Amino acid sequence: MPPLEPLSREERSTRFERRVADFLGKMEDFDHKGAEFERGRGGSEGGRNYPLLMATWKVAPALAAGCTAVLKPSELASVTCLELAEVCKEVELPPGVLNIITGLGSEAGAPLSSHPLVDKIAFTGSTETGRKIMTAAAQLTKPVSLELGGKSPLLVFEDVDIEKAVEWAIFGCFWTNGQICSATSRLLLQESIAVEFLDRLVAWVKNIKVSDPLEEGCRLGPVVSEGQYEKIKKFISTARSEGATILFGGSRPKHLEKGYFIEPTVIRDVNTSMQIWREEVFGPVLCVKTFRTEEEAIELANDSQYGLAGAVISKDLERCNRIAEAIQAGIIWINCSQPTFCQAPWGGTKRSGFGRDLGEWGFDNYLSVKQVTQYVSEDQWGWYSSPSKL
Protein backbone atom coordinates (compact mmCIF):
# COMPACT_ATOMS: atom_id res chain seq x y z
CA MET A 1 0.00 0.00 0.00
CA PRO A 2 1.58 3.28 -1.04
CA PRO A 3 2.25 5.79 1.75
CA LEU A 4 -0.33 8.51 2.25
CA GLU A 5 0.63 11.89 0.96
CA PRO A 6 0.78 14.41 3.84
CA LEU A 7 -1.75 17.20 3.67
CA SER A 8 -0.45 20.66 2.96
CA ARG A 9 -0.98 23.43 5.50
CA GLU A 10 -3.70 24.90 3.28
CA GLU A 11 -5.50 21.55 3.01
CA ARG A 12 -5.34 21.00 6.78
CA SER A 13 -6.70 24.48 7.37
CA THR A 14 -9.54 23.94 4.91
CA ARG A 15 -10.51 20.62 6.50
CA PHE A 16 -10.47 22.17 10.00
CA GLU A 17 -12.60 25.11 8.89
CA ARG A 18 -15.13 22.73 7.31
CA ARG A 19 -15.44 20.75 10.53
CA VAL A 20 -15.87 23.91 12.60
CA ALA A 21 -18.52 25.15 10.16
CA ASP A 22 -20.39 21.83 10.42
CA PHE A 23 -20.35 22.06 14.22
CA LEU A 24 -21.36 25.72 14.33
CA GLY A 25 -24.22 24.94 12.03
CA LYS A 26 -25.61 22.74 14.78
CA MET A 27 -25.36 25.36 17.50
CA GLU A 28 -28.92 26.46 16.86
CA ASP A 29 -29.98 22.98 18.03
CA PHE A 30 -29.05 23.90 21.59
CA ASP A 31 -30.34 26.15 24.30
CA HIS A 32 -27.86 26.98 27.06
CA LYS A 33 -27.64 29.17 30.14
CA GLY A 34 -25.60 29.80 33.25
CA ALA A 35 -27.30 28.99 36.52
CA GLU A 36 -26.29 30.01 40.03
CA PHE A 37 -26.92 27.82 43.05
CA GLU A 38 -26.02 28.01 46.73
CA ARG A 39 -22.81 26.32 47.84
CA GLY A 40 -24.50 24.58 50.78
CA ARG A 41 -23.09 24.99 54.28
CA GLY A 42 -20.86 27.99 54.88
CA GLY A 43 -18.35 28.23 57.70
CA SER A 44 -17.45 31.76 58.83
CA GLU A 45 -14.86 32.97 61.31
CA GLY A 46 -14.94 36.62 62.33
CA GLY A 47 -12.49 39.16 63.72
CA ARG A 48 -12.24 40.50 67.24
CA ASN A 49 -12.20 44.19 66.31
CA TYR A 50 -15.71 44.40 64.83
CA PRO A 51 -17.22 41.12 66.04
CA LEU A 52 -20.87 41.78 65.20
CA LEU A 53 -20.12 43.68 62.00
CA MET A 54 -17.75 41.02 60.69
CA ALA A 55 -20.33 38.35 61.54
CA THR A 56 -23.06 40.06 59.52
CA TRP A 57 -20.68 40.63 56.58
CA LYS A 58 -20.38 36.85 56.37
CA VAL A 59 -23.74 35.54 57.63
CA ALA A 60 -26.13 37.90 55.80
CA PRO A 61 -25.01 37.07 52.22
CA ALA A 62 -24.73 33.36 53.09
CA LEU A 63 -28.33 33.21 54.28
CA ALA A 64 -29.52 35.41 51.40
CA ALA A 65 -27.91 32.98 48.95
CA GLY A 66 -29.82 30.09 50.50
CA CYS A 67 -26.96 28.57 52.48
CA THR A 68 -26.96 27.51 56.09
CA ALA A 69 -24.11 28.96 58.13
CA VAL A 70 -21.85 28.08 61.04
CA LEU A 71 -20.29 31.15 62.67
CA LYS A 72 -17.27 30.94 64.94
CA PRO A 73 -16.61 34.38 66.52
CA SER A 74 -13.30 35.40 68.07
CA GLU A 75 -12.81 33.92 71.52
CA LEU A 76 -11.92 37.46 72.66
CA ALA A 77 -15.23 38.98 71.49
CA SER A 78 -18.09 36.49 71.33
CA VAL A 79 -20.92 38.13 73.27
CA THR A 80 -22.40 40.28 70.49
CA CYS A 81 -22.53 37.26 68.18
CA LEU A 82 -24.46 35.34 70.81
CA GLU A 83 -26.84 38.31 70.98
CA LEU A 84 -27.21 37.95 67.20
CA ALA A 85 -28.33 34.37 67.81
CA GLU A 86 -30.98 35.62 70.24
CA VAL A 87 -32.26 38.09 67.63
CA CYS A 88 -32.46 35.28 65.08
CA LYS A 89 -34.55 33.22 67.53
CA GLU A 90 -36.85 36.20 68.11
CA VAL A 91 -37.54 36.58 64.39
CA GLU A 92 -38.10 32.81 64.16
CA LEU A 93 -35.21 31.94 61.90
CA PRO A 94 -35.60 28.16 61.52
CA PRO A 95 -33.37 26.07 63.79
CA GLY A 96 -30.15 24.96 62.12
CA VAL A 97 -30.02 27.79 59.56
CA LEU A 98 -27.55 29.85 61.60
CA ASN A 99 -25.35 28.05 64.09
CA ILE A 100 -22.90 29.86 66.38
CA ILE A 101 -20.00 28.04 68.01
CA THR A 102 -17.74 29.72 70.57
CA GLY A 103 -14.32 28.61 71.72
CA LEU A 104 -10.65 28.71 70.84
CA GLY A 105 -9.66 28.69 67.21
CA SER A 106 -7.81 25.39 67.45
CA GLU A 107 -10.82 23.67 69.03
CA ALA A 108 -13.86 25.37 67.51
CA GLY A 109 -12.58 27.03 64.35
CA ALA A 110 -10.13 24.55 62.86
CA PRO A 111 -12.70 21.73 62.47
CA LEU A 112 -14.78 23.96 60.17
CA SER A 113 -11.92 24.14 57.67
CA SER A 114 -11.35 20.39 57.61
CA HIS A 115 -14.92 19.11 57.94
CA PRO A 116 -16.26 17.49 54.75
CA LEU A 117 -19.81 18.76 55.34
CA VAL A 118 -18.75 22.43 55.39
CA ASP A 119 -18.70 23.53 51.75
CA LYS A 120 -17.10 26.97 51.98
CA ILE A 121 -15.00 28.97 54.47
CA ALA A 122 -14.97 32.77 54.86
CA PHE A 123 -12.43 34.16 57.33
CA THR A 124 -11.38 37.54 58.66
CA GLY A 125 -8.24 37.60 60.80
CA SER A 126 -4.48 37.27 60.78
CA THR A 127 -2.40 36.14 57.83
CA GLU A 128 -0.89 33.35 59.94
CA THR A 129 -4.32 31.87 60.74
CA GLY A 130 -5.39 32.37 57.13
CA ARG A 131 -2.53 30.15 55.98
CA LYS A 132 -3.63 27.38 58.36
CA ILE A 133 -7.20 27.61 57.09
CA MET A 134 -6.03 27.41 53.47
CA THR A 135 -3.90 24.35 54.25
CA ALA A 136 -6.78 22.53 55.95
CA ALA A 137 -9.33 23.48 53.27
CA ALA A 138 -6.96 22.49 50.47
CA GLN A 139 -7.10 18.86 51.58
CA LEU A 140 -10.74 18.86 50.48
CA THR A 141 -10.29 21.42 47.65
CA LYS A 142 -12.74 23.53 49.64
CA PRO A 143 -13.18 27.15 48.46
CA VAL A 144 -12.12 29.88 50.87
CA SER A 145 -12.25 33.66 50.96
CA LEU A 146 -9.76 35.38 53.26
CA GLU A 147 -9.59 38.96 54.53
CA LEU A 148 -6.27 39.05 56.35
CA GLY A 149 -3.69 41.48 57.72
CA GLY A 150 -2.43 44.75 56.30
CA LYS A 151 0.25 47.39 56.54
CA SER A 152 -1.38 50.02 54.40
CA PRO A 153 0.28 53.22 53.13
CA LEU A 154 -1.04 56.79 53.19
CA LEU A 155 0.71 59.06 50.67
CA VAL A 156 0.57 62.81 51.39
CA PHE A 157 1.80 65.30 48.79
CA GLU A 158 3.02 68.86 49.24
CA ASP A 159 -0.10 70.51 47.75
CA VAL A 160 -2.44 69.41 50.56
CA ASP A 161 -4.31 71.41 53.18
CA ILE A 162 -2.12 70.27 56.08
CA GLU A 163 -4.77 70.46 58.81
CA LYS A 164 -7.22 68.35 56.83
CA ALA A 165 -4.56 65.85 55.83
CA VAL A 166 -3.27 65.53 59.40
CA GLU A 167 -6.71 64.61 60.70
CA TRP A 168 -7.14 61.92 58.04
CA ALA A 169 -3.67 60.60 58.85
CA ILE A 170 -4.47 60.11 62.54
CA PHE A 171 -7.99 58.82 61.87
CA GLY A 172 -6.63 56.31 59.35
CA CYS A 173 -4.33 54.77 61.95
CA PHE A 174 -5.85 55.43 65.39
CA TRP A 175 -9.54 54.82 64.60
CA THR A 176 -10.76 51.86 66.69
CA ASN A 177 -7.54 52.05 68.71
CA GLY A 178 -5.49 51.01 65.69
CA GLN A 179 -7.13 47.58 65.77
CA ILE A 180 -8.16 47.55 62.14
CA CYS A 181 -6.59 45.49 59.38
CA SER A 182 -6.94 48.32 56.84
CA ALA A 183 -5.20 50.92 59.08
CA THR A 184 -3.04 53.28 57.02
CA SER A 185 -0.20 52.82 59.48
CA ARG A 186 2.63 53.70 57.06
CA LEU A 187 2.57 57.46 56.55
CA LEU A 188 4.55 58.65 53.51
CA LEU A 189 5.15 62.42 53.48
CA GLN A 190 6.59 64.47 50.65
CA GLU A 191 9.89 65.74 51.96
CA SER A 192 9.14 69.45 51.45
CA ILE A 193 6.26 69.45 53.98
CA ALA A 194 7.50 66.77 56.39
CA VAL A 195 8.69 69.06 59.22
CA GLU A 196 5.57 71.23 59.27
CA PHE A 197 3.29 68.23 58.86
CA LEU A 198 4.85 66.30 61.76
CA ASP A 199 4.69 69.34 64.03
CA ARG A 200 0.96 69.62 63.40
CA LEU A 201 0.50 65.84 63.58
CA VAL A 202 2.01 65.66 67.07
CA ALA A 203 -0.13 68.59 68.20
CA TRP A 204 -3.28 66.80 67.02
CA VAL A 205 -2.22 63.47 68.53
CA LYS A 206 -1.54 65.09 71.92
CA ASN A 207 -5.13 66.32 71.83
CA ILE A 208 -6.66 62.83 71.42
CA LYS A 209 -8.70 61.86 74.46
CA VAL A 210 -7.57 58.44 75.71
CA SER A 211 -10.07 57.04 78.20
CA ASP A 212 -12.66 54.45 79.08
CA PRO A 213 -14.68 54.06 75.84
CA LEU A 214 -17.89 54.79 77.74
CA GLU A 215 -16.67 58.27 78.66
CA GLU A 216 -18.01 61.17 76.63
CA GLY A 217 -15.53 62.34 74.00
CA CYS A 218 -13.32 59.23 74.10
CA ARG A 219 -11.30 58.89 70.89
CA LEU A 220 -8.90 56.11 71.89
CA GLY A 221 -9.68 53.21 74.21
CA PRO A 222 -7.79 50.10 75.32
CA VAL A 223 -6.63 47.28 73.09
CA VAL A 224 -8.42 43.96 73.24
CA SER A 225 -6.24 41.84 75.55
CA GLU A 226 -3.12 41.64 77.65
CA GLY A 227 -1.45 39.56 74.95
CA GLN A 228 -2.07 42.23 72.32
CA TYR A 229 -0.98 44.96 74.73
CA GLU A 230 2.37 43.25 75.32
CA LYS A 231 2.82 42.57 71.62
CA ILE A 232 2.36 46.28 70.76
CA LYS A 233 4.82 47.35 73.47
CA LYS A 234 7.35 44.89 72.01
CA PHE A 235 6.89 46.40 68.53
CA ILE A 236 7.61 49.87 69.93
CA SER A 237 10.62 48.66 71.91
CA THR A 238 12.05 46.91 68.86
CA ALA A 239 11.59 50.02 66.71
CA ARG A 240 13.53 52.06 69.25
CA SER A 241 16.33 49.49 69.44
CA GLU A 242 16.58 49.40 65.64
CA GLY A 243 17.22 53.16 65.53
CA ALA A 244 13.78 54.69 65.01
CA THR A 245 12.68 57.77 66.96
CA ILE A 246 9.51 57.77 69.07
CA LEU A 247 8.16 61.19 68.21
CA PHE A 248 5.21 60.84 70.56
CA GLY A 249 3.64 58.19 72.77
CA GLY A 250 4.90 54.66 73.14
CA SER A 251 3.82 54.17 76.76
CA ARG A 252 0.83 53.76 79.02
CA PRO A 253 -1.07 57.05 79.54
CA LYS A 254 -0.13 58.40 82.98
CA HIS A 255 -3.75 58.97 84.00
CA LEU A 256 -4.77 55.36 83.30
CA GLU A 257 -3.14 52.92 85.71
CA LYS A 258 -5.37 49.97 84.80
CA GLY A 259 -6.50 48.48 81.52
CA TYR A 260 -4.64 47.76 78.31
CA PHE A 261 -4.17 51.37 77.24
CA ILE A 262 -1.34 52.57 75.00
CA GLU A 263 -0.78 56.17 73.97
CA PRO A 264 -1.23 56.95 70.28
CA THR A 265 2.33 56.50 69.04
CA VAL A 266 4.17 58.23 66.19
CA ILE A 267 7.51 56.82 65.04
CA ARG A 268 9.90 58.48 62.59
CA ASP A 269 13.44 57.83 61.26
CA VAL A 270 12.17 54.51 59.94
CA ASN A 271 13.85 52.52 57.18
CA THR A 272 12.24 49.83 55.05
CA SER A 273 14.08 46.95 56.72
CA MET A 274 12.66 47.68 60.18
CA GLN A 275 10.06 45.43 61.73
CA ILE A 276 7.77 48.41 62.41
CA TRP A 277 7.66 49.17 58.67
CA ARG A 278 7.12 45.60 57.50
CA GLU A 279 4.81 43.92 60.04
CA GLU A 280 1.25 44.59 61.12
CA VAL A 281 1.06 45.97 64.67
CA PHE A 282 -2.73 46.01 65.12
CA GLY A 283 -2.54 48.85 67.58
CA PRO A 284 -2.27 52.67 67.72
CA VAL A 285 1.19 52.96 66.15
CA LEU A 286 1.97 55.12 63.12
CA CYS A 287 5.35 54.98 61.38
CA VAL A 288 6.53 57.81 59.12
CA LYS A 289 8.84 57.99 56.12
CA THR A 290 9.49 60.72 53.56
CA PHE A 291 9.73 60.71 49.77
CA ARG A 292 10.75 63.20 47.06
CA THR A 293 8.97 62.10 43.88
CA GLU A 294 5.71 60.41 42.95
CA GLU A 295 7.64 57.43 41.60
CA GLU A 296 9.49 56.99 44.90
CA ALA A 297 6.23 57.26 46.83
CA ILE A 298 4.64 54.47 44.77
CA GLU A 299 7.71 52.26 45.19
CA LEU A 300 7.62 52.73 48.97
CA ALA A 301 3.86 52.17 49.09
CA ASN A 302 4.19 48.84 47.29
CA ASP A 303 7.19 47.74 49.36
CA SER A 304 5.07 45.41 51.48
CA GLN A 305 3.98 41.80 51.63
CA TYR A 306 0.46 43.08 52.24
CA GLY A 307 -2.05 44.60 49.85
CA LEU A 308 -5.27 45.31 51.69
CA ALA A 309 -5.63 49.08 51.37
CA GLY A 310 -3.91 52.34 50.55
CA ALA A 311 -4.69 56.05 50.46
CA VAL A 312 -3.46 59.22 48.79
CA ILE A 313 -4.08 62.86 49.70
CA SER A 314 -3.45 65.55 47.10
CA LYS A 315 -5.30 68.37 45.36
CA ASP A 316 -4.11 66.99 42.02
CA LEU A 317 -6.84 64.48 41.15
CA GLU A 318 -5.00 63.21 38.08
CA ARG A 319 -2.11 62.30 40.35
CA CYS A 320 -4.51 60.67 42.81
CA ASN A 321 -6.00 58.51 40.08
CA ARG A 322 -2.56 57.49 38.82
CA ILE A 323 -1.58 56.43 42.32
CA ALA A 324 -4.89 54.68 42.94
CA GLU A 325 -4.14 52.55 39.88
CA ALA A 326 -0.49 51.97 40.80
CA ILE A 327 -0.89 50.93 44.45
CA GLN A 328 -1.12 47.16 44.80
CA ALA A 329 -4.13 46.90 47.08
CA GLY A 330 -7.78 45.93 47.01
CA ILE A 331 -9.10 49.15 48.60
CA ILE A 332 -7.96 52.68 47.76
CA TRP A 333 -9.05 55.94 49.37
CA ILE A 334 -8.54 59.34 47.76
CA ASN A 335 -8.36 62.36 50.09
CA CYS A 336 -9.59 60.28 53.04
CA SER A 337 -8.90 57.03 54.90
CA GLN A 338 -11.15 54.23 56.19
CA PRO A 339 -14.70 55.06 54.93
CA THR A 340 -16.46 51.80 54.11
CA PHE A 341 -19.69 51.26 52.20
CA CYS A 342 -21.78 48.10 52.10
CA GLN A 343 -22.23 48.45 48.33
CA ALA A 344 -18.48 48.44 47.59
CA PRO A 345 -16.16 45.39 47.50
CA TRP A 346 -13.88 44.83 50.49
CA GLY A 347 -10.77 42.65 50.36
CA GLY A 348 -7.09 42.58 49.51
CA THR A 349 -4.28 41.20 47.41
CA LYS A 350 -0.89 39.60 48.15
CA ARG A 351 -0.75 38.31 51.74
CA SER A 352 -3.83 40.29 52.69
CA GLY A 353 -5.91 37.50 51.18
CA PHE A 354 -8.34 37.06 48.32
CA GLY A 355 -12.07 37.14 47.71
CA ARG A 356 -14.33 40.05 48.54
CA ASP A 357 -16.91 40.89 51.18
CA LEU A 358 -19.83 43.28 50.73
CA GLY A 359 -22.02 44.19 47.78
CA GLU A 360 -22.71 41.74 44.99
CA TRP A 361 -19.15 40.42 45.39
CA GLY A 362 -19.85 39.27 48.94
CA PHE A 363 -23.05 37.59 47.79
CA ASP A 364 -21.19 35.76 45.01
CA ASN A 365 -18.94 34.13 47.66
CA TYR A 366 -21.82 31.84 48.57
CA LEU A 367 -22.95 30.95 45.05
CA SER A 368 -21.55 28.54 42.53
CA VAL A 369 -22.17 28.70 38.79
CA LYS A 370 -23.10 25.78 36.58
CA GLN A 371 -23.76 25.52 32.86
CA VAL A 372 -27.07 23.95 31.80
CA THR A 373 -27.34 22.92 28.12
CA GLN A 374 -30.42 21.40 26.47
CA TYR A 375 -30.67 19.77 23.03
CA VAL A 376 -33.84 21.25 21.52
CA SER A 377 -33.81 19.82 17.99
CA GLU A 378 -36.04 16.91 16.96
CA ASP A 379 -33.31 15.65 14.57
CA GLN A 380 -30.85 12.85 15.18
CA TRP A 381 -27.52 14.27 16.38
CA GLY A 382 -25.85 12.67 13.38
CA TRP A 383 -22.22 12.67 14.44
CA TYR A 384 -21.89 8.89 13.94
CA SER A 385 -23.07 6.82 11.03
CA SER A 386 -26.27 4.96 11.91
CA PRO A 387 -25.94 1.15 11.73
CA SER A 388 -29.16 1.06 9.66
CA LYS A 389 -27.43 3.04 6.89
CA LEU A 390 -24.33 0.84 6.61
Residue 14 has pLDDT above 90, yes or no: no
Q: How many domains does the chain have?
A: 2
pLDDT at 272: 97
Q: How far is CA 51 from the centre of its chain?
A: 15
Flag whether 258 is in a domain.
yes
Best CA proximity match to 174, nearest among 282, 248, 257: 282
Residue 390 has pLDDT above 70, yes or no: no
Flag whether 384 is in a domain.
no
Least-confidence region, from 17-21, 59-63, 139-143: 17-21
What percent of the chain stands above pLDDT 70?
A: 89
Same structural domain, 212 and 83? no
Same structural domain, 183 and 290? yes
Mean pLDDT, the chain, as a whole number? Answer: 91
Residue 40 has pLDDT above 90, yes or no: no
Same structural domain, 86 and 218? no
Q: Which of the pair, 261 or 23, is modelled with greater confidence? A: 261
What percent of the chain stands above pLDDT 90?
A: 78
Same structural domain, 306 and 203? yes
Is the entire prediction scored with pTM above 0.85?
yes
Same structural domain, 159 and 88? no
pLDDT at 15: 65
Same structural domain, 359 and 330? no
Flag whether 71 is in a domain.
yes
Flag whether 62 is in a domain.
yes
Least-confidence region, from 112-121, 224-233, 367-376: 367-376
CATH number assigned to the domain comprising residue 118: 3.40.605.10
Same structural domain, 196 and 285? yes
Flag whether 346 is in a domain.
no
315 touches 212 (CB < 8 A): no
Same structural domain, 316 and 176? yes
Residue 193, domain extent: 153-334
Flag whether 26 is in a domain.
no
Half-sphere exposure of 351 (CA within 13 A, CB side): 17
Q: How confident is the model at residue 376 (pLDDT cuts 50, 70, 90)?
A: confident
Q: Which of the pair, 10 or 234, is modelled with greater confidence? A: 234
CATH number assigned to the domain comprising residue 291: 3.40.309.10
Flag whether 23 is in a domain.
no
Amino acid at 35: A
- Three-state DSSP at 136 gives helix
Residues with catalytic roles = 147
Q: What is the pLDDT of residues 174-226, one digit of tens each?
A: 999 999 999 999 999 999 999 999 999 999 999 999 999 999 999 999 999 99
- Which burial class, exposed, middle or buried, applies to 24 when counting CB atoms under 10 A from its CB (0-12, 13-18, 19+)? exposed
CA distances from 36 to 120, 142, 357, 363, 365 (A): 15, 18, 18, 11, 11
Same structural domain, 225 and 128? no
Task: Identify the bridge partners of residue 350 per DSSP, sorted by sequence position.
Answer: 306
Flag whether 317 is in a domain.
yes
Q: What is the pLDDT of residues 66-86, one digit of tens each?
A: 999 999 999 999 999 999 999
pLDDT at 199: 98
pLDDT at 17: 64
Cα separation, 378 vs 390, in Å, equals: 22
Q: Which of the pair, 244 or 32, is modelled with greater confidence? A: 244
